[in-house]
Amino acid sequence: MPEPRTTSTPSRRPARGITREQIVDAAVAIVEADGVGSLSMRKLATQLGTVPTAIYWHIGGREQLLDAVVERFTDRLVAAQVRGRTPVSRVLSIARHFRDSASEHPNLTEAANERGLNATTFLPLQIALARELTAAGLRGRRASEAMRSIVYVVSGFIVLAYRVPPVAPTRHRSEELWAEIDAAGIDPGLLADLREPADFDAVFEHTLRTLVEALLTTPA
């Protein structure tokens, strides 16, 4: 197996043939537009006017290619402009920024999750949160517990949300399911609400606000 070029050896090279950068660029475009499933080594090669094996030389295989795609995406997720005056509203602004960035690129989010790269992808989120929690006066274990709670909840919402149109047939949507449930012991008002489609952003907002307020105000 030939050693693929690493980013750390830029090594001047004549302007002929294909570069690692061009390959990743094209792969990002395909994944962003049509999802991970649409990225094939052969299609990508054809689109670049080359041959699959050339890609192997530069990148090393489909998995490495996907990792490179995710890395490019992660680099574009810049830390948010933190907004708000109270600690709670500042933390919420960070959470919202990441939800928004991810929901603008659902297919890249899916790729990151599929390759197990969530920790990397959400690192900028974590750093911003760490600063904010420190500024809010949280220290040590209290701070790390709060941070991990927020990070997992935000990541969880993001990962649940990336499925742009639901894959499943209509009857599997949550609202439909609630139509046929045994209602014994369930408040009728609650049941009526559950038969309406959920507003994902509203749930995100409500959940995060409740959680962050509790984490920042509960005594240690």
143 binds, among DNA, a second copy, none (CB under 5 to 8 A by kind): a second copy
Query: 15-54 mask for a second copy (x: CB under 8 A)?
Result: ----------------------------------------
How far, in Å, CA of 111 to CA of 132, rounded?
Answer: 29
Give the other-Cβ count within 10 Å of 162's Cβ.
Answer: 18
What is the b/e burial string over 32-53, where b = at least 16 CB atoms within 10 angstroms of the residue's CB? Answer: beebbeebebeebbeebebeee
Token pair 């790390």 in the structure block, residue? 144
Examine residue 57 and tell whether it contacts DNA (CB under 7 A): yes
- Contact residue for a second copy among 32, 41, 194, 201 (CB under 8 A): 194
How far, in Å, CA of 59 to CA of 128, rounded?
Answer: 32
How far, in Å, CA of 147 to CA of 143, rounded?
Answer: 6
Examine residue 29 and tell whether it contacts DNA (CB under 7 A): no
15 binds, among a second copy, DNA, none (CB under 5 to 8 A by kind): none
Q: Say how many residues make up the chain.
A: 220
Binding residues vs a second copy (CB under 8 A): 67, 114-120, 123, 126-127, 130-131, 133-135, 138-141, 143-145, 147-149, 152-153, 155-157, 159-160, 163, 166-169, 172-174, 177, 181-182, 185-187, 189-194, 198, 203-204, 206-207, 210-211, 213-215, 218
